[in-house]
Structure 1
Amino acid sequence: MSYLIASRLQWLKFIVFLVLLTQLSLSAYAQKILEPRANPKAMVQEGNVRFTVLTPRLIRMEWTTSGTFTDNATFIVVNRNLPVPRFTTVKGNGQVIIKTDELELQYKIGSGKFTNQNLSVKLLDTKHPFTWTPGLKQTGNLKGTYRTLDNYDGDEQIWDKTKMELEDGLLATDGWTLIDDSKSLLFDHSDWPWVMPRVTTDHQDLYLMGYGRQYKKALFDFTQIAGRVPLPPRYAFGYWWSRYWSYSDNEVRNVVHNFEQRQLPLDVFVVDMDWHNTDSLRAKDDVFEQPKGWTGWTWNERLFPNPDGFLHWMKDQDLKVTLNLHPASGIAPFEEPYQRTARYLNFDTTGKANIPFAGSDKRFMQALFNTVLHPMEKKGVSFWWLDWQQWPNDKKIKDLNNTWWLNYTFFTDMERTSAVRPMLYHRWGGLGNHRYQIGFSGDAVISWKSLAFQPYFTSSASNVLYGYWSHDIGGHQFGRGAERVLNPELYVRWMQFGALSPIFRTHSTKSASLNKEVWNFQGEYYDALSNAIRLRYQLAPYIYTMARKTYDTGLSLCRPLYYDDPETKEAYENPSEYMFGDNLLVAPIVSAMENGIAKKKVWLPAGNNWFEWNTGALLKGGQYVNRVFGLEEYPIYVKAGAVLPTYPNVKNLSHDPEQCVLAVFPGADGATKVYEDGGNSKDYASAYAYTQVVSRHLPGRIQKITIMPRKGQYAGMALSRTYRLQLYGAEMPVQIVANGKKLNYTTETNTKDWSYNGQELSVNIPLAKANAVQQQEVTVYYSKTDSIDVNNGLVRKFRQLSKGITALKFKDAGIILPHVVGNCEETNLRLQYYPAQFYKALNYFNQHFTEIPKAVEKATNASNATWFQEYFKANLQ
């Protein structure tokens, strides 16, 4: 008995130790980005002027009448303690000259405030030279982002018809950018750094970035002083279901069951503001002049009779839940947390007044989190959707923007107190908000014009590191005078873009006609929508790997073409195209089809060939190409030779699946590093792993794929991994050897034999489960005597021919297909069934393909033959 008591005491001590350790680690995590005091060796001071060399391309320039300089973190700049770059300082002839490897600064000593007469900075790169002086205006800013798309039809405001003017970004073709931080609010030095106004008013606090066309280096430099872009949890890159609807517990469960029934993955369920009670006795607006019903903190038990039970059920489904918040009206007397919040604040409740929202009051915000929000988080609310759109600035601190400040307080509270990775989504508040992750772009108008604008809007935001915009996919509301009917083709194209955007979230206003659930669509619309969701999950490990790159480098997932091609004018002239990570180029379809096809002119950058994934065409870079696509097809271009980590079918991203499918694309050698971590762990900065994969083409028509031993570690890391290789655009191999063992061929995919997919013209090679630190090697041997081009659009020809023949049968159910038609239409399966006849079957297809319309003409009536000829000409030539 005494031994049992002693054991229990030891266990309790251990638990207390763990709690204290966790608290210390959380505090340290929150503080690590705030290192605002620069290394003195980086500083050059001359009286009332101080220069700090932060990187070879970035210099801070301060002037003040008092001679006292600011070393606090500001809302934009939180870190100046960087490795001191190489630079020289020369003083003489009344000047100080500071020279880095890339910039040269000159200042007239003792001449006071910075002007174009006493200060200049020039770029030493002779290819893109400039000389900057105070007051010089940029002419080529590449723009950043904008607070919200609320009530915008594309870039046009529907009420006053004004055009959106994106804020200036960090990059410009001028080669330099000035960040004037003179008016930024400061952070104090408390354990939870809090806002404080600047005391000095007569001062200058400037940061000059001089980068020429080194855009990527400029963005990285900015992360060094303004903080990195945090890595969202893995589940954030799945599909989010959201709708402004007064969902009940029953309805939510039905929606979830519908996803499960159709085997459609889902990660996040968003519950809009009807989740909470409102004060029905109030007039249209409340005492804070906010619309009645926006602010609320108490579950509406008419819809959710047991909120704890609802959240528990959602957790059992491996789903994350977020709730909508409009905090402007504070906490009303009818709210469930009113009394305990009042006690926390010593607030006088005798008058039954609202506890007013006071964002700049640390005590109030602590009360809000500790008495209102943390209890709900503990019961299962994963993160918060802030829908702040009421007051532009705080009531007490004039220049404190509520959007910016709420982003900071909510994110850093979770950073400090939660055991999981912090996340929220809210509107853009300005420079520095990249530290608080995901943007909610607001209530865009449903139109082709809005869809056409969003790819540019999304990628340009990377110029301020705001790389995680979450759009209302499909649009939020109908425009003025627009037909109140959801166009299914428009919705499909929006979903296809959404699957290739940073955050994949559908949403719409409270309208009975906006039923965006996939199961409300039929036929090719249902197929295209389902495929968009599945593509998102297929690409999830690639997306997550690129998100880690965002954290490491500042390069957003969706980014403009000119990052990689800064010297090429076409990279600037095609703003709707964007890179989706390092290896995918997307050219969104943003207009309606004509006669069943979408025509798209695409610019492909030089330096690579590009594999058009949906059609199987390998295209040369450095040119414009005119392409056509059906509803289920989309312009996704993969760099030749790229290796993409992908997933097989999964339920969602709550767990890292055991199997990883390595998609290897044709046209060149390639390699990748596959990233993994704990998925929702806070220690991802140091606890993670990479697996390198290399694909090489050797003499004698041999391809070798090597999976290197995994490097790194993190808590919960699986020791073993199952890989499957999928070689796109590949001929039929004659032999495959995996880890020294010859594999057998099978016509139907299984887990031990290799197979060939005739629809995709891809080779599928399953590998046995193996220790992740074990190197694996697969050698693929192709015929030395035969070869054929399989990357000339055959995938699309097979697909469209099959669709056309099926449609023809519905016009003439009794048709007897001529031999040439049947042979060509079944080519994809002949390739699988008869691997030894691979080249014979493809040669037959290529030789007889153009004969198909004439053969059909002889087998059916004139009307059907004319229809098929037109279909063939539009889709197959």
Structure 2
Amino acid sequence: MKRKSVIVALLGTILVIPVSAQNYQKTAQGIKTRLQSMDVEVQFYSPSIVRVLKAPEGFVYRKESLSVVKKPQDTRFTTTQQGDVVAMKSDKLEVDVNLKTGRVSYLDLKGNPLLTEKDYGTQFTPTVDVQKNTYTARQAFLLDKDEPIYGLGQQQNNRLNQRGQQNVLKNGNTRVCIPFFQSIKGYGIFWDNYASTLFTDNLQETSFESLADCSDYYFMYGGSGDGVVAQMRDLTGQVPMLPLWTYGYWQSKERYKTQDELVGIVEKYRNLKVPLDGIVQDWQYWGRDSVWNAMSFDKKTYPDPKAMVEKIHNLKAHLMIVSWPGFGPLTTQYKEFEQKKMLIDFDTWPPNSGTKPYDPYNPEARDIYWSYLNKGVFSYGTDAWWLDSSEPDHINVKEKDFDQPTYLGTYRSVVNAFPLEHVKGVYEHQRATTSDKRVCILTRSAFAGQQRYGANTWSGDIGASWETLQKQIPAALNFSLSGNPYWNADIGGFFLWNYQGSNALKNNAYRELYLRWIQFGAFTPMMRSHGTDAPREIFNFGKHGDRDFDAIEKYINLRYSLLPYLYSTAWGVSNRSETIMRALFMDFANDKKVYDMTGEYMFGRSILVAPVTEPMYVSKQDGKGVEDYSQVKSKTVYLPKGAEWFDFWTGEKLTGGQEVSKAAPIDIMPLYMKAGSILPWGPKVQYAQEKKWDNLEIRVYPGADGEFTLYEDETDNYNYEKGAYSTITFKWNDQSKTLSINDRKGKFKGMMTSRKFNIVMVGKANGCGDVPGKAGKTVAYNGKSLNVKF
């Protein structure tokens, strides 16, 4: 037998190793082989998902994924060998393994290449992590030259396509780092590693590099953006339903300082008849910094927390309360964690306080964390959690801090999974405590799999500027494309450094930015106003009849009108692995103009959102801003090809594949409805559940066939997991001009047995916009199918 020599980059040294024809072992899920001084295993987790494990030959390690919850399912596949290449085929995918170079390649069933590893593209460089011998693992791939990719979590780089960069993926305030990307070609890659990871994409390769005992990644083929997200959710966990009320409006600030102030904000909204569902209590309700995060209420400023919560509930609102991962040195928790060696010894927020984070990787530590949180806060009937600093804040950083031991190894080796384990602890313990209240968590950081824990991630303590507002759109879209559907940002930006004066609300330039930001916020999964340096409550912008007040109220009311649409879309997220904030390529993959479009997106499958992200009416002069609203300005919007569109505000019908100029006075953000859309329009309310949906307006946008499923349940418990919900599917036949309302499916306690639908055909004569339609056909519906012809 002839022998050949190959050059292999392994263990940090270039070695010349003689090799001969290689053997492999077939397993229940795939194959195992030894090549290039590596042990290699390729496993089908499903017909569409493949796991690839590589480690230095004979190296003993243990790997239990924190992100992946899927177990390998029985998958039929065939194995054939031709020369040095072993080909494995499922009914969705072909995987080729080169037994000579170690390259793993992926093809669709027609033989079209999807992705390939680089020849000799797996490298292990030996290193020592404290006292443990391990490696830096690097895996390189080859992508097509002009192949867009998306994901990597939430990056504040104002880019949708993530090609052509080198990025250290390490979670931090304003950055959520997930070592995952998906391609326009319909596949995704998840590098299952929790250490800080170097992502590199250049003309030669695309690679992940991390501290690791092994190279461990998953290839998933979905065929489309939605398909890849569905595979990622199948792999790392599905999304539970959030309560209906969480989709309403939230008011917050840094910070409400007393019980009376907190309740008073809710009372003011009710007196003004401006809708509100959530009020947020930020830090220091516990008192001084030495007892940071004591998980108890200071008796001077919050003397009766039970009465406070009851009063908020009586006002038909809900309370979210903050909790941190760090504890001040005088807290009972700090002492217990210290005694049990469950603190990670580095400084976290606030500075100079001696606060240390607990070890969320330790299940016993998570038990202890919840026991205090339950007794000191949740027992009063609070409704939601703000898990701040969940990456967490790391102050006075020293390299030795990463040497700190955790339950799962050094902090260095698991740093990016801190938010995943922290959020997991709160979610699982609340679920074990009660099923009557759905878990709702607002958190500043995330990792792959966190979507399964009722978590809504916000974009961190961003500064207020037009540039920052622009960056939030692609940041949100890439986060969603990484598998996490729930995202939001501080409306108006957290810090107001760019706006002078003791109160930024007196700065006309900031007020214009805030009005545009709240318009954007109305079309994100959570609409929440928050920040420091100036208050953001609506009454600080004037009164009814004032331009700015009315513009803010308009979008809060619009949000509530969209609740039936949004809640039903959320059911699609939970039931069909769908996405709320959708990059345009997900729905218009044949339109290359949208592949890197950062300023527009779909909100659900029907609404095109084009936020105004540049000043139009205020110039920065004298540090205060000079207004000029004398002339209405316009914004250019691209309407994707492959559909016809309706201007939401006017009902004008437009053809896709073109740019249009849309007039954008300060209270108008360009919105377009895709032809074929069916939009349920909710009643005007002061809070989400004030009125039943017994007389919904159903807006039909003709020009294409369409379908929409209205979802309803008990709104705030987990009975839907047991089948306690109903769906009503509407179908529009554009040729016959007929709306079919199908039989209602399912039932739940309190379900309406009869109701009315007011069907409105939208057009230029009946644009509707943010007010009910002027004309329509009203039908009575008792759960049985009926047809409405126009």
TM-score, normalised via structure 2 length: 0.75
**Secondary structure in 1 aligned to 2:608?**
strand
Q: Is the 8 A contact 1:144 1:170 kept in 2?
A: yes
Cα distance 1:166–1:227, how it changes in 2: closer, same or farther (>3 A)?
closer
**Secondary structure in 1 aligned to 2:504?**
coil
CA-CA distance at 1:712 after TM superposition: 1.6
CA deviations on 1:364-391 (whole Å, 9 max, x unpaired) are: 3312212343452121111211112424
Q: How far apart, CA to CA, are the structure 1 residues paired with 2:750 and 2:535?
A: 45
Code of the residue aligned with 1:136 in structure 2: it is F
**Secondary structure in 2 aligned to 1:709?**
coil
Question: Mind listing any 5+ residue stretches in structure 1 that lack a counterpart?
Answer: 1-38, 156-161, 186-199, 280-285, 287-292, 348-352, 733-754, 781-877
CA-CA distance at 1:495 after TM superposition: 0.8
Q: Is the 8 A contact 2:600 2:608 kept in 1?
A: yes
Matched, 1:645 2:680: yes
Match of 2:488 in 1: 470
CA-CA distance at 1:728 after TM superposition: 2.4
Comparing both structures, which one devotes a greater share of its residues to helix? 1
Match of 2:741 in 1: 707
Match of 2:21 in 1: none
Match of 2:606 in 1: 583
Cα distance 1:447–1:231, how it changes in 2: closer, same or farther (>3 A)?
same
Match of 1:311 in 2: 309
Q: Is the 8 A contact 1:433 1:466 kept in 2?
A: yes
Q: How far apart, CA to CA, are the structure 2 residues paired with 1:356 and 1:477?
A: 25
Q: For the pair shown, which has the larger CA radius of gyration, 1 or 2?
A: 1
Bigger relative contact order, structure 1 or 2 (CA pairs below 8 A, ≥6 apart): 2
Comparing both structures, which one devotes a greater share of its residues to strand? 2
Tell me the matched-pair count: 665
Q: How far apart, CA to CA, are the structure 2 residues paired with 1:692 and 1:538?
A: 19
Match of 1:568 in 2: 591
**Secondary structure in 2 aligned to 1:717?**
coil
Q: Is the 8 A contact 2:154 2:175 kept in 1?
A: no
RMSD of Structure 2 on Structure 1 (CA): 3.8
Match of 1:144 in 2: 151
Q: Is the 8 A contact 2:606 2:677 kept in 1?
A: yes
Q: Is the 8 A contact 1:344 1:367 kept in 2?
A: no
Q: How far apart, CA to CA, are the structure 2 residues paired with 1:678 and 1:569?
A: 42
2:648 corresponds, among 603, 610, 613, to 613
Q: How far apart, CA to CA, are the structure 2 residues paired with 1:117 and 1:708?
A: 54
Question: Mind listing any 5+ residue stretches in structure 2 that lack a counterpart?
Answer: 1-25, 122-139, 163-172, 197-210, 343-353, 395-400, 618-629
Q: How far apart, CA to CA, are the structure 2 residues paired with 1:516 and 1:757?
A: 22
CA-CA distance at 1:616 after TM superposition: 2.4
Q: How far apart, CA to CA, are the structure 2 residues paired with 1:117 and 1:642?
A: 49
Matched, 1:459 2:459: no
1:424 corresponds, among 428, 441, 466, to 441
Cα distance 1:491–1:384, how it changes in 2: closer, same or farther (>3 A)?
same
Code of the residue aligned with 2:301 in structure 1: it is L
Where do 1:797-836 residues align within 5 Å? Answer: none
Q: How far apart, CA to CA, are the structure 1 residues paired with 2:487 and 2:188?
A: 24
Code of the residue aligned with 2:420 in structure 1: it is W
1:206 corresponds, among 214, 217, 221, to 217
**Secondary structure in 2 aligned to 1:51?**
strand
Cα distance 1:725–1:231, how it changes in 2: closer, same or farther (>3 A)?
same
Q: Is the 8 A contact 2:152 2:482 kept in 1?
A: yes
Q: Is the 8 A contact 2:602 2:608 kept in 1?
A: yes
Cα distance 1:174–1:167, how it changes in 2: closer, same or farther (>3 A)?
farther
CA deviations on 1:77-131 (whole Å, 9 max, x unpaired) are: 111243x44431124656532023443323355x6xxxx4454333445666554
Cα distance 1:314–1:641, how it changes in 2: closer, same or farther (>3 A)?
same
**Secondary structure in 1 aligned to 2:43?**
strand
Match of 1:434 in 2: 451
**Secondary structure in 2 aligned to 1:531?**
helix
CA deviations on 1:286-344 (whole Å, 9 max, x unpaired) are: 6xxxxxx75332212322221111011112222221111223125724x6x899x7999
CA-CA distance at 1:570 after TM superposition: 0.9
Moved more, 249-258 or 516-525: 516-525
Q: Is the 8 A contact 1:708 1:776 kept in 2?
A: yes
Q: How far apart, CA to CA, are the structure 2 residues paired with 1:303 and 1:149?
A: 37
Q: How far apart, CA to CA, are the structure 2 residues paired with 1:686 and 1:87?
A: 35
Where do 1:463-542 residues align within 5 Å? Answer: 463-479=481-497, 482=500, 485-486=504-505, 487-509=510-532, 511-512=533-534, 516-517=538-539, 520=542, 523-542=546-565
Where do 1:232-247 residues align within 5 Å? Answer: 232-247=242-257
Where do 1:333-352 residues align within 5 Å? Answer: 333=331
**Secondary structure in 1 aligned to 2:429?**
helix
Q: How far apart, CA to CA, are the structure 2 residues paired with 1:354 and 1:491?
A: 34
Q: How far apart, CA to CA, are the structure 1 residues paired with 2:193 and 2:300?
A: 51
Q: How far apart, CA to CA, are the structure 2 residues paired with 1:354 and 1:450?
A: 31
CA-CA distance at 1:137 after TM superposition: 4.4
Match of 1:737 in 2: none
Q: Is the 8 A contact 1:141 1:169 kept in 2?
A: no
Q: Is the 8 A contact 1:94 1:108 kept in 2?
A: yes
CA deviations on 1:561-603 (whole Å, 9 max, x unpaired) are: 0112223221124221001001111111112225442321111
Q: Is the 8 A contact 1:272 1:323 kept in 2?
A: yes
Q: How far apart, CA to CA, are the structure 1 residues paired with 2:756 and 2:546?
A: 35
CA deviations on 1:738-769 (whole Å, 9 max, x unpaired) are: xxxxxxxxxxxxxxxxx99998774144445x
Q: Is the 8 A contact 1:592 1:598 kept in 2?
A: no
Q: How far apart, CA to CA, are the structure 1 residues paired with 2:770 and 2:95?
A: 63
Where do 1:80-95 residues align within 5 Å? Answer: 80-82=71-73, 84-91=74-81, 93=83, 95=85
CA-CA distance at 1:505 after TM superposition: 0.2
Match of 2:6 in 1: none
TM-score, normalised via structure 1 length: 0.68
Match of 1:42 in 2: 29
CA-CA distance at 1:497 after TM superposition: 0.7
Match of 2:106 in 1: 121
Q: Is the 8 A contact 2:180 2:189 kept in 1?
A: no
Q: Is the 8 A contact 1:233 1:679 kept in 2?
A: yes
The percent identity for this pair of structures is 24
Match of 1:729 in 2: 763
Q: How far apart, CA to CA, are the structure 1 residues paired with 2:771 and 2:688?
A: 28
Match of 1:34 in 2: none
